[in-house]
Every structure is written in C-alpha cells, then in structure tokens.
Amino acid sequence: SLHDALPIFGTETIIDKSKSVKSVLMQMFAESGNSDMEGVDSTNACYGGTAALFNSVNWVESSAWDGRLALAVCADIAVYAAGAARPSGGAGAVAMLVGPRAPLVLDRGVRATHMQHVYDFYKPDMSSEYPVVDAKLSIQCYLSALDTCYNLHKQKAAAKGCPPVTLATFDAVLFHSPYCKLVQKSLARLALNDFLVSDKAGKLPELEKFRETKLEESYFDRDVEKAFMTHSQAMFEAKTKPGLKIATNVGNMYTPSLYGGLVSYMISQPLEELAGRTLGLFSYGSGMASSFFSLRVAADFGPDSALAAFSRCLDDVQARLEGRAKVAPEQFVATLAEREKAVDSAPFHPVGDLGMLAAGTFHLVAIDDKHRREYARTDRPQQNGHL
C-alpha cells in the first residue's frame, strides 16, 4: 500500500524557514494512521529531488530498512522575474516508489557526485520567489560539473572492472533541463569528453584540430561547441531528444526536471524496445550539487511484470499534456503579478478558477493571520493513482 511507504521530499520551493514540506505531505497519510515515516526535505536548488531519491535508495539498502517501500517526491514551481528567463519557467511534481523487484534498477557503486560552493543561482530574498541568476556562470558551472561527474563515473566503472564507459555504453542519456538547448549542448559536451580520451587518432579527421582542447577553457568556445553538436547530432536524436517531451511542453520544473525526462523517455517507444536498456542520467542543482548515475530498465516486459505496471502508470501522460488550458501571455504575466503580491502575505485568500485544475489537484485554500496554510483537493476523481 502507498500509505505504508516512507516519503522523502525534494524541493527548492520552500514555504517555511523551519517547517518541512514533507510534514505538510503527511496529511495524505493521516487517515491510515501511519506516522512512522523518516525523512524531511532535501533542498539544494534543482538537485533536491535526486538527493531524496538517493536517500530513499540508501534507506532501502540499509540495516534500518523494515521492508516498506520508500517514496521520493520532487515538486517545484519555477518562476522568474520579467525578462529573458521567464518563458523557460514551469512547474511539476514527480513521485518515485523505491523498493525491491523494481522496473528501473540503479547501478551500484558507480554514481558520481561533484559539489562545490558557488553563487550561480540562488534565492537569498525570502520575500520574493525569484532567484538571483548569473547566467554565464550558471552555464559554466553546469558544464564543468557535467565534465567532473562523467569522468568520475568512468573511473568508478573502471575500478569495478566494467568495460570503458563512453556514450556508446548508454541507450539513452538524460539531463536536468533548465532549457532544451543546454541539454543538446550537454550531450555534445560528453562527446567531447569521450573524444579527448579516445585512441582513435585520425579516425575523425573533422575533429582532430580539437585534440588538445582543455575542458576548463572550452565552456564558451563556439568552434568546439558547434563541431561536437554536429558530431553528436544523431546520438542526440536517438538517445536524448526522446527525453525532452515534458521539458519542451512544460518548461523547467526544478527538482522534477530530470525525472520528467525519464518519464518522457519511458513513453517514447514500445515497452518491448525499452526493456533491458541502460540509461545515463545527470542531475544538477545550482550552488552547486550534481551527480551522474546510471540505471537499467528491467528485461521482463510481460503483462504481469513490474515494468508493465510501471508503464501503465504513465498511460495518461500525453492526455494530461493535451488537457492543459491554453492562456495568453498577458494572463500569465497577470498571474505572476498576483503571486508577487501574495508572497509572505497573511492572512491571504487566493483567487483563481478551480475549474482549470487537473483532476485530484491539491490547492491552497487560505493562509491565516499566523501564516498557517490550509489545502484542499479538487472534487473530481484522481486518475491512475496519481498523487
């Protein structure tokens, strides 16, 4: 039962400087009487969801595990001040059950992490939802973290006696997606990493002039970028673009972004073609925290398999995308203006058309004069067990 799962929450959209969002989520388990649930919020920009997932896996593999499933929840609202970044914003939530006999299996002993102190994107003003962003530094940090994590992943795989890791190792490579063009550049970046350590001198004559490229000096080298985007174009179309469906339609979701990519990839092809594949994933959160890890799709895709059950949970993704309400940009701007007024307001009663909300959506009802929040759920029945 889902009510017997242990949830951990990853988000950067905090609503209180002390009380965790996970504690609010506990309302969903009140009816079952289950309060024996370890874990509180994991917060570091867009990486919080990955931290929640890793914490969940660590618990299941630990001596503390009591046989229950873990539940990693990633949820955020990504909004930006007026300017070039605003159209890239989005919102979303992804919940992942973690336990034995899983349809997606994380590879052990090879996940690689890089963390560093930097101010590339951060939210120092608690009275505003908008971040402070150094765009150029943020891109450099993302790409440098990708270089470091990918090469550390290679080293860890080699230490375990695995064949050398290259892009050919993976049937798909998925990335945290602030915007889709950066994802395409990121796959090209991994192709550059592979090229610089390959022993195929002369076999790619169009790239040989880049043989002495230094990674730390090439983040904004247009010639390098263009050459390796061209070189990796076919790989991008096959291995990465199928994971961009939700990012393309929804925008940046912060912590759920990478896992929206995983959902996108898992609905991109028939189940029998996905079974047994190996996926590489890169998670990044500004400030910064990042990891490169891999997973395998279960080989059994029979009608009673865990993979088939997982696939059925995703049956309505396309319908949900198509069922969204389309509004004019002016209405979006007006909505964000209302949100600006509401930040840190108490008492507060939100305004808006509940009829536009999807089935089973939780929504804010009111904030009282002590900043205590009340939530409710739309009357329409939930579908496919979605939270």
**Residues taking part in catalysis:** 12, 46, 176
b/e for 30-53, b at 16 or more Cβ within 10 A?
A: eeeebeebebbbbbbbbbbbbbbb
Smallest CA-to-CA distance from 232 within 173, 274, 276 is with 173
Q: C-alpha angle with apex 301: 245 to 5, nearest 5 degrees? A: 75
Q: DSSP string spanning 352-376?
A: S-GGGSPTT-EEEEEE-TT--EEEE
Which residues, 6+ apart, have CB-to-CB distance to 324 below 8 Å?
none
Strand partners, 132: 122
Smallest CA-to-CA distance from 8 within 18, 21, 16, 17 is with 21
Q: How far apart are CA 342 and CA 349, in angstroms?
A: 9
Q: Break the chain down into helix, strand, coil percent, rounded to 5.
A: 40, 20, 40
Strand partners, 291: 113, 283
Strand partners, 7: 71
Cβ–Cβ < 8 Å for 121, 287: yes
Q: Pairing between strand 104-106 and 112-115?
A: unpaired
Q: How far apart are CA 328 and CA 349, in angstroms?
A: 24
Q: Which two tokens stand for residue 80?
A: 């930006």
Which residues, 6+ apart, have CB-to-CB distance to 12 below 8 Å?
43, 44, 45, 46, 48, 76, 123, 254, 255, 285
